[in-house]
């Protein structure tokens, strides 16, 4: 049984006018070859970090990070995060992004999804504890399930079906949040929890299964756009660079309540029908909308309350949907067959 108290590695000296250490900070990013992870890695490198990426490439791809090869501040380790994590030298920050995150993935990989949320989070927290590093968990708006509160605030406990087809993802993240808080309370690990809402941008997989890749791919091929249910269910979409900036600010936030969960997303809400129409307009497509049955436990409403992010991070999204769709659509054009 592990001791209740652990000695923490002395933190690196901090400069008087900066939140990052005076010496070069070292960040470990699990899932760093994925959509969000690769964008975070780029941001960290641009802000002076030395970055170690750990990814088993089940849903990530080296295509997302190959342009970083040769950078002396970048290192890639192919490893499953559910295995024991050992690294030489100091680590200042652990960013835990590893997890399947789209329905097509976690419906095909339910056990792996549960393992990375539980065992993977345990191993990543263990690494942070052993190094005296600050730890950030990327959780999800899915912890709210099919919400009965709208918009969703961090104080809402959610409406989740633990034995439904989406339960493997929803509950893995809820467990990961509980484990993160346990390490904070039991071992004094500095922790942060971000609840991410729908995010889009370049490097999403074409066959990701989520609504943005699906709608854009269908529109670019002038194929029918598949809307589930009657299309009145809502989502809100945040461009990836806004989302990553919010995550970065949360990691370095020194507010007294920074260890509590924080929503990061765009509060601009729209129906799936409205979103389909926006994609048709932005792509110049001739696609028409077709309807299919709504999947089980699919949330009817999804909109973040970002009051907390505004107050403690000074953050809110800057890029509107029309702006963000330009590089997103250009990326998908480059990936789809002509």
CA distances from residue 182 to 122, 125, 135, 195 in whole angstroms, order as listed: 11, 10, 13, 18
Is 169 one of the annotated active-site residues of the chain? yes
- The DSSP secondary-structure symbol of 36 reads H
Decide: helix, strand or coil at residue 326: helix
Evaluate whether 312 touches 257 at the Cβ level (below 8 Å): yes
Evaluate whether 231 touches 238 at the Cβ level (below 8 Å): no
Evaluate whether 139 touches 158 at the Cβ level (below 8 Å): no
Evaluate whether 29 touches 37 at the Cβ level (below 8 Å): yes
d(CA 199, CA 38): 14
Catalytic residue among 169, 183, 200, 248: 169
Decide: helix, strand or coil at residue 292: strand
Residues labelled catalytic: 169
């Amino acid at each position: 049984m592990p001791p209740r108290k652990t000695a923490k590695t002395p933190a690196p000296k901090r400069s008087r006018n900066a939140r990052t250490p005076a010496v070069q900070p070292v960040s470990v990013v699990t899932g760093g070859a994925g959509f969000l992870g690769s964008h975070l890695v780029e941001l960290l490198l641009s802000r002076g970090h030395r970055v170690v990426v750990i990814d088993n490439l089940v849903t990530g791809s080296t295509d997302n990070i190959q342009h970083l090869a040769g950078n002396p501040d970048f290192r890639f380790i192919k490893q499953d995060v559910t295995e024991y994590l050992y690294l030489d030298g100091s680590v200042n920050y652990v960013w835990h992004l590893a997890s399947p995150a789209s329905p097509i993935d976690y419906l095909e990989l339910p056990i792996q999804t549960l393992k990375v949320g539980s065992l993977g989070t345990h191993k990543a927290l263990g690494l942070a504890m052993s190094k005296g590093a600050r730890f950030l968990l990327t959780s999800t708006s899915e912890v709210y399930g099919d919400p009965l509160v709208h918009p969703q605030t961090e104080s809402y406990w959610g409406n989740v079906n633990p034995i439904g087809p989406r339960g493997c993802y929803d509950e893995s993240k809820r467990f990961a949040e509980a484990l993160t808080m346990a390490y904070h309370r039991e071992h004094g690990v500095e922790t942060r929890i971000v609840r991410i809402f729908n995010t889009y941008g370049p490097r999403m997989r074409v066959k990701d299964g989520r609504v943005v890749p699906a709608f854009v791919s269908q529109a670019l091929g002038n194929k029918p756009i598949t809307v589930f249910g009657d299309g009145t269910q809502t989502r809100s979409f945040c461009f990836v660079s806004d989302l990553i900036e919010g995550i970065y600010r949360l990691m370095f936030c020194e507010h007294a309540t920074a260890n509590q969960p924080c929503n990061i997303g765009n509060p601009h809400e729209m129906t799936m029908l409205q979103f389909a129409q926006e994609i048709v307009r932005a792509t110049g497509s001739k696609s028409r909308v077709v309807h299919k049955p709504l999947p089980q436990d699919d949330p009817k409403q999804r909109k973040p309350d970002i009051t907390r992010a505004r107050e403690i991070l000074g953050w809110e999204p800057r890029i509107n949907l029309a702006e963000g769709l330009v590089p997103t659509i250009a990326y998908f054009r480059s990936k789809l067959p002509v």
